[in-house]
Amino acid sequence: MTTSFQWCWGLFLSLSLYSIHSTCTDNVHIIYLGINQAKDPLLTTKSHVQLLSMVFSSEQDAKDAMIYSYKHSFSGFAARLNSTQATALAMMEGVISVFRSKTLRLHTTRSWDFMGLALDHNKAATPLQLAYGDDVVVGIFDTGIWPESESFREEPGMGPVPSWWKGRCVKGEKFVPNKACNRKLIGARYYVEGFEQIYGPLNTSENGEYRSARDYLGHGTHTASTAVGSIVKNASFMGFGEGTGRGGAPRARLAVYKTCWSKELDGRCTEADILAAFDDALHDGVHVISASFGVGPPLAPFFASSADIGSFHATQLGVTVVFSAGNDGPEPSLVENVSPWGICVAASSIDRKFSTRLLLDNNLTILGESFNSKQINGRLVDGINYFFDGSCDFEKWRGRLVSGRLVLCFSTLGPVSSGAAALAVLRANGSGLIFAEPATKQAADVDIIPTIRIDVNQGTRILHYLVQSPKVPMVQLLPGKTIIGRSPAPVVADFSSRGPSSIAPDILKPDISAPGINILAAWSPESPPTLLPIDGRSVSWNFQSGTSMSCPHVAGVVALLRSAHPEWSPAAIKSALMTTAYTRDTSVDKILAGGSMKLADPFDVGAGHINPVKAMDPGLVYDMNTRDYIIFLCSLGYTEAQIQSMVLEPAAAMVDTSCPKGHRTTLTHLNYPSITVPNLQSTVTIKRTVRNVGPEKAIYFVSIVNPDGVKVVVRPRILVFSYCKQEISYHVTLTPMKHSQGRYDFGEIVWSDGCSHHHVRSPLVVRVNTTTVVDGVDSISQY
């Protein structure tokens, strides 16, 4: 007893220490209490006030400090507390965690930091997209919605709002529910209290925001139209990417939860608001949630993070939550949203480019990319030393004009982003920018001034010509063209955050990759396409890049899967996506990792690139049940009493809530569709269970790719299924065959049924750590 008490004390303390800063001012804290025992929301709120009153001198003070009571889908509250009060609450019985409400960022960048993105809008929607979705509601947690966008009108023949739907359209500034909402957009709520606690009252006249679900920034409109946008003919950005715009599940319903607000034209989302959105969305009846935000490492423990807590309860209720991996690549270990129950999405390119020619007066032709729409002729200048101080940064401008000229800049000098260089050229009154950067980063982007991106080699050729040319050379920048058939594609985006997970390296993250470079989708006409205040343009479609864009692609596919297979759990849906993902690009070579142009490994791309058609019919799935999550919570050190208060109705479901005896379990043993062993010291055996979701009679054979220096044995090697939904377990035994420490190696396990063409693939990620090991030494000497 004593030890376990000390353990929970230690847990509380570490959570408290993690989140409670030693400042004297009151901060918004979230108190998480597990499942909602009371069922009646009024009673739940009353119990929250009672609990909070214990750290205040009066009930009234407690009520004044409370910001949200989470009372529908789980239990908890957000309140302004000082650190003494927060620590006192963390010690109280029934409190699972107390943490400060952090501010999260959207996973898109201001476009100047990045390149473009592309979704194949030129094909009409597939039969799959037209067959499924009416019965599925996708919740988008983002900056709101521009409801007048054509992407959110009703598809012809769309049935009435389902009677079980409990959500609603909340009235607000420039948001009239019966005008904004329809059979497509069936829910719209907004959450601003947490934001206002940090940034002060929202001044909508000053910031250009709306105190309603209306989107000012454009990001939420973009992600919503990517996930579920209706079919819109002739969509384009200034003629680029022209085609039929549509989301992944054009027939699915949309419910918008505005949790992110404009702050200096950037999106900020607080954890207090995010948890309130989860509380409502799960009660409203959404089936899928798409959340394109996060906060970079150090990552909080799972139960000191609103996104992880909210998605934990969502999963228990059968709701899939899809997150973006973050835009902090290509360095390792910066991936975000790494819980075993969420889907974490990396970003990759598609096969479209915006090919643009630059002609020099020596007849040299350079190919690059741009969204430039008109021909520009001008003198060529190398801005760096005369116009700018060593770097084409607008802050390094020397005050000299480059009127009518095209300015050559290198990303490597400074270094400088294309956005900062474009602003510099605008400021110096140039007419265009030639931006040379490493080939792995180069793509088109929406710019404030005509900009062609070329690679460093080409830029160097231009510079050498410029330097040795006796007179100032002339150049022509031609209009860009949209070209389908770029190769190789997909390539993992340079910016996409990479694994391994910094807090749970035994669960592979990211899980999967999807398009996130130059994605064309609906936009708020109030928001300039570059997000720069000096950009006076108003557009209804815009290109954006980021894992923010790849996340709703997966959410759209999940909506189709959910509609086609309503009985599948979130874990089964994730399994179907991961085991059918592909790892070879359009040229049938292994997918490359942008940023290095080396082969992508599972830390770049997860299980691979999403393949929606194959995911509909995966053959086998790795499911997880309540017992798996209990074992997971045991591995985090929670007590049985705590676990019982976090797991939904374990008694009714007759689930054993006790922790496995003996040594602490590791996440490697969760029935996850990938296998990761971050510290293989001696032989380890891992069990996995697959369920047959294909034809009732099926025989699967295993094929294995060993990670370097690891012996992999799978038993049995043949799985014989004789009925639907039959479950069979197999064991994977991994033995280190080399001396190594600190290096990851990659392999795979694939189950194939000869005739039906199911290939159920799991990445195998192993780090051998044998320097201090005795076991397995014999085999090493034989190796």
Ligand X SMILES: *[C@@H]1O[C@H](CO)[C@@H](O)[C@H](O)[C@H]1NC(C)=O
Shortest distance, position 338 Cβ to ligand X, whole Å: 18
Query: Is residue 533 within the footprint of ligand X (CB under 6 A)?
Result: no
Shortest distance, position 156 Cβ to ligand X, whole Å: 19
Smallest Cα–Cα separation from 605: which of 588, 618, 624, 592?
592
Binding mask 587-616 for ligand X (x = CB under 6 A): ------------------------------
Q: Which residues contact 399 (CB under 8 A, 6 or more apart)?
A: none
Smallest Cα–Cα separation from 11: which of 398, 221, 301?
301
294, exposed or middle or buried, with CB in 10 Å at 0-12, 13-18, 19+? Answer: buried
Gap between the Cα atoms of 413 and 387, Å rounded: 14
Shortest distance, position 775 Cβ to ligand X, whole Å: 12
* 379 bridge partner residues: 405, 474
Cis peptide before 505 (omega within 30 of 0): no
Cβ distance to ligand X smaller for residue 44 or 540: 540
Cβ distance to ligand X smaller for residue 427 or 590: 427
Binding mask 730-749 for ligand X (x = CB under 6 A): -----------xx-------
How many separate helices (H) and strands (E) can be counted in the chain?
Answer: 21, 39
Gap between the Cα atoms of 730 and 713, Å rounded: 10
Q: Which of 107, 121, 219, 222 is catalytic?
A: 219
Shortest distance, position 243 Cβ to ligand X, whole Å: 10
> Which of 206, 264, 331, 778 is close enough to bind ligand X by CB under 6 A?
206
Give the C-alpha distances (Å, rounded to integers) separating 239 from 46, 354, 562: 57, 11, 35
Site for ligand X in 6-45 (CB under 6 A): 24
Cβ distance to ligand X smaller for residue 493 or 710: 710
Query: Is residue 84 within the footprint of ligand X (CB under 6 A)?
Result: yes
Shortest distance, position 2 Cβ to ligand X, whole Å: 28
Write down how long the chain is: 783
Cβ distance to ligand X smaller for residue 21 or 166: 21
Cβ distance to ligand X smaller for residue 163 or 772: 772
Strand duo 684-692 + 620-621: pairing: antiparallel
Cβ distance to ligand X smaller for residue 54 or 720: 54
Write the single-letter amino acid at 418. S
Cβ distance to ligand X smaller for residue 362 or 587: 362
Gap between the Cα atoms of 20 and 27, Å rounded: 9
> Which of 10, 404, 533, 754 is close enough to bind ligand X by CB under 6 A?
404
Shortest distance, position 657 Cβ to ligand X, whole Å: 30
Element (H, E) at 533: none
The token pair at 98 is: 């107390």
Query: Is residue 429 within the footprint of ligand X (CB under 6 A)?
Result: yes
Shortest distance, position 157 Cβ to ligand X, whole Å: 23
Q: What is the dihedral of CA 102, 107, 112, 115, to 10 degrees?
A: 160
Question: What phi and psi, each to the nearest 5 degrees, are found at residue 782?
Answer: -75, -20
Smallest Cα–Cα separation from 314: which of 333, 336, 335, 291?
291
Strand duo 727-736 + 710-715: pairing: antiparallel
SS (H, E, C) 372-399: CCCCEEEEEEEHHHHCECCCCCHHHECC
- HSE-CB at 343 with a 13 A cutoff on CA atoms is 36
Gap between the Cα atoms of 603 and 501, Å rounded: 9
Query: Is residue 469 within the footprint of ligand X (CB under 6 A)?
Result: no
Site for ligand X in 331-360 (CB under 6 A): none
Smallest Cα–Cα separation from 520: which of 290, 218, 264, 186?
218
Shortest distance, position 483 Cβ to ligand X, whole Å: 18
> Which of 197, 306, 431, 550 is close enough to bind ligand X by CB under 6 A?
431
Gap between the Cα atoms of 337 and 326, Å rounded: 8
Query: Is residue 205 within the footprint of ligand X (CB under 6 A)?
Result: yes
Cβ distance to ligand X smaller for residue 242 or 266: 242
First and final C-alpha spacing in the chain: 48
Active-site residue, 219 included: yes
Number of residues lying near ligand X (CB under 6 A): 23
Query: Is residue 501 within the footprint of ligand X (CB under 6 A)?
Result: no
Binding mask 758-777 for ligand X (x = CB under 6 A): -----------x--x-----
Query: Is residue 676 within the footprint of ligand X (CB under 6 A)?
Result: no
Q: Tell me how crowded residue 191 is: count the other CB atoms within 10 A of its CB.
A: 24
Cβ distance to ligand X smaller for residue 134 or 242: 242
> Which of 103, 236, 244, 689 is close enough to bind ligand X by CB under 6 A?
236
The token pair at 402 is: 């480059």
Shortest distance, position 15 Cβ to ligand X, whole Å: 19
Shortest distance, position 84 Cβ to ligand X, whole Å: 4
Strand duo 541-544 + 519-522: pairing: antiparallel
Cβ distance to ligand X smaller for residue 140 or 675: 675
Stretch that binds ligand X, among 233-241, 588-596, 666-674, 724-732 (CB under 6 A): 233-241
Query: Is residue 85 within the footprint of ligand X (CB under 6 A)?
Result: yes
Gap between the Cα atoms of 104 and 143, Å rounded: 12
Smallest Cα–Cα separation from 433: which of 364, 372, 487?
372
Binding mask 364-403 for ligand X (x = CB under 6 A): -------------------------------------x-x
Binding mask 705-734 for ligand X (x = CB under 6 A): ------------------------------
Gap between the Cα atoms of 632 and 316, Å rounded: 14
Active-site residue, 669 included: no
Q: Which of 411, 540, 548, 563 is catalytic?
A: 548
* 356 bridge partner residues: 368
Cβ distance to ligand X smaller for residue 39 or 374: 374
Stretch that binds ligand X, among 80-88, 340-348, 697-705, 724-732 (CB under 6 A): 80-88
> Which of 41, 46, 80, 82 is close enough to bind ligand X by CB under 6 A?
82
Q: Which of 73, 111, 142, 762 is catalytic?
A: 142
Q: What is the dihedral of CA 113, 292, 338, 547, to 10 degrees?
A: -40
Active-site residue, 553 included: no
Gap between the Cα atoms of 541 and 520, Å rounded: 6
Shortest distance, position 233 Cβ to ligand X, whole Å: 7
Binding site for ligand X (CB under 6 A): 24, 56, 82, 84-85, 203, 205-206, 234, 236, 239, 362-363, 401, 403-404, 429, 431, 679, 741-742, 769, 772
Catalytic residues: 142, 219, 548
